[in-house]
Amino acid sequence: MKKGTNRVLHTISAMIFGCIALFISSIEVQAETQNSYIDFRFGQVSESNSQNNFANSATRIVVETSHIPEARLSLLDSPYRLVIDTTNSSWNMPNFPKSGKLSYGPITSWRYGNPTANTGRLVFELSEPAAPVAAFMLPPKQSDSARKPGYRIVIDISNRGKTAFALARSALKKTPYLATSKLDSALNEQADNTNFLKVEKKPEQNNNLQTGGKVVELKSPEMRPKRWVVTIDAGHGGKDPGAIGFSGTKEKEITFKASQRLAYHLNKSGRVIARLTREDDSFIKLRDRIAIARQHQADLFVSLHADAAPNAKANGISVFSLSDTASDKEAALIAERENKADLLGGPDLSIEDPLAANALLSMFQRESMNESTYIAKSILNQVRSLPGGDKRGHRFAGFAVLKSPDIPSVLVEMGFLTNKKDEANLKKDSYIDDLTKKIADAIIAYLNASLR
């Protein structure tokens, strides 16, 4: 992708999400208002680039309401559904049926109903586990003169696998309200710039999706494999050797060897497709490692390391997950050192991380952090019998590489290269094989248990 385009997209999304965060925080309930659904339409957005780490592409749903909506999003399965509830809402699309079938991206049908007297519910049935990757609200479009434009609820959905769907469903259950907002027209047109495909008035005929009167050929999104996808990240690489061992062993070589063995064990299970962030000795920025996992549509991300400690006696296996505050000083130090890897790639000129400003994704991030603790525990259970043991336990710190908002992520410190015994173990193929087999078993145990 062209760099310039990336930068523009990045800037736009940062602006949009910055504003969303602002207006989501100012709640203004309008319970008295009789709201109504007045329009909906679909579009395709492509927001893939290594800087914003978005899903490759997403299906955009825009629902218009006559007044500022108080909207609640939820996800259901069997079959997969996206549900939008708005308070005090009715259906006001006289020429538009309350239900119908269509085929657009993962959306196979819609229906409208009133589960309670005060709730207007719009349900989209989905052919696959597509979950929201962004959601925001916009004021009425100023330029639309054909009819009175409505307030817009914009939701981008993307199939990032069953685990991401379950994660999003659970996060939305805990914090169900999308937003009720004081709307900011400044972000208006930039955010709604997709060429929308509008459902015609007889939507039961599938091919009648049009944009500006011209029939558009709809491309089906790529089907996700049936097996789980695990992205294995071999720490460091290229000009970044990582820690240097007691006898000169380079961390990047140990992590690479371990990533190959872990991939072998996961693939051999027949249940997982293992993907790697690097397949050779190349340097990859931490943020790009996350982007690669998102491109893989990974169910889980595991980063492998074998670090250094100022104290040569420090030894053993630790499993880290993301947290704002470190569990202990040593964890903070390790995260700080790991995060410095990016500096080797030159200064990072990108502006504010849009993921951090996307309210929906930060909600998922909390859920993802919870899930990551289960994986960490599962791994520690498995490695107990190894010489490295599990005594160092589960720790937390602000590792940049663990910041995928909807992919549970852990970092395994397989041992300390600054410890003589650990280094000797990590140099042995048989030890790496044992260790990675146990990590693979732990990952499969977690994935089995997490499919709720």
Stretch that binds Zn ion, among 6-14, 163-171, 297-305, 399-407 (CB under 5 A): 297-305
| DSSP run (H or E) holding 220 | none
Q: Which is nearer to Zn ion, 187 or 432 (CB)?
A: 432
Question: Alpha helices of 183-307 — where are they, by DSSP H?
Answer: 188-191, 251-268, 286-295
Closer residue to Zn ion in complex, CB, 93/244 = 244
Sheet holding 394-397, edge to edge: 272-276, 228-234, 300-307, 409-416, 318-322, 394-397
Q: Does 132 bind Zn ion (CB under 5 A)?
A: no
- When the beta carbons of 132 and 242 are compared against Zn ion, the nearer one is 242
Segment lying near Zn ion (by CB under 5 A), choices 81-89, 128-136, 268-276, 303-311: 303-311
User: In this complex, which beta carbon is closest to Zn ion, that of residue 64 or of residue 307?
Assistant: 307
> Does residue 305 interact with Zn ion by CB under 5 A?
yes
Q: Please count the helices (runs of H) and the strands (runs of E) in the chain.
A: 10, 20
Angstrom CA distances, 86 to 59, 180, 323, 331, stand at 21, 10, 34, 44
Q: How far apart are CA 172 and CA 8, in angstroms?
A: 30
Tally of CB atoms within 10 A around 103: 14
Min. distance of Cβ 263 from Zn ion in angstroms?
18
452: exposed, middle or buried (C-beta count within 10 Å: 0-12, 13-18, 19+)?
A: exposed
Relative to beta strand 228-234, strand 209-211 is unpaired
Q: Using the minimum distance from each CB to Zn ion, give the nearer residue, 200 or 330.
A: 330
Cβ closest to Zn ion, residue 163 vs residue 303: 303
Which part of the chain contacts Zn ion (CB under 5 A), choosing from 109-117, 179-187, 231-239, 278-286?
A: 231-239
- State the nearest-atom distance from the C-beta of 316 to Zn ion, in Å: 15
- Of the two residues 191 and 306, which places its CB atom closer to Zn ion in the complex? 306
Residue pair 8/47 in contact (Cβ under 8 Å)? The answer is no
In the complex, minimum distance from the CB of residue 236 to Zn ion, in angstroms, rounded to a whole number: 6
Please work out the total of residues on this chain that contact Zn ion, with binding judged by CB under 5 A.
4
CB of 412 to Zn ion, least distance (A): 10
User: Residue written as tokens 């052919």?
Assistant: 127
Of residues 38 and 290, the one with the C-beta less far from Zn ion: 290
- Smallest distance from Zn ion to CB 376, Å: 17
Distance in Å, CB of 413 to Zn ion, minimum: 7
The distance of closest approach from Cβ of residue 338 to Zn ion in the complex, given in angstroms and rounded to an integer, is 5
Q: Which stretch binds Zn ion (CB under 5 A): 198-206, 211-219, 234-242, 318-326?
A: 234-242
Token pair listed for 443: 């990952």
Q: Is 415 in the site for Zn ion (CB under 5 A)?
A: no
Instruction: Give the x-and-dash track for 307-336 against Zn ion (CB under 5 A).
Output: x-----------------------------
Structure-token pair, residue 22: 């602002």
Whichever of 209 and 314 has its CB closer to Zn ion, that residue is 314
Interface pick for Zn ion out of 129, 242, 316, 405 (rule CB under 5 A): 242
Residue 235 in the binding site for Zn ion (CB under 5 A): yes
Q: Is 106 exposed, middle or buried (0-12, 13-18, 19+ CB in 10 A)?
A: buried
Rounded to a whole number of angstroms, the minimum distance from the CB of residue 337 to Zn ion is 7
Q: How many CB atoms lie within 10 A of CB 38?
A: 19
Which of the ranges 15-23, 85-93, 117-125, 235-243 carries the binding residues for Zn ion, by CB under 5 A?
A: 235-243
If the CB atoms of residues 61 and 412 are measured against Zn ion, the closer one turns out to be 412
Residues 6+ apart with CB under 8 A from 387: 421, 425, 431
Taking CB atoms, the residue at the shortest distance from Zn ion is: 305
**Closer to Zn ion by Cβ: residue 38 or 412:** 412
Q: What is the 3-state secondary structure (H, E, C) of 41-64?
A: EEEEECCCCCCCCCCCCEEEEEEE
Query: What contacts 242, CB < 8 A, 6 or more positions away?
Result: 235, 236, 250, 251, 252, 255, 305, 306, 307, 341
Q: What mask, x for binding Zn ion by CB under 5 A, covers residues 186 to 225?
A: ----------------------------------------
Q: List residues near Zn ion by CB under 5 A.
A: 235, 242, 305, 307
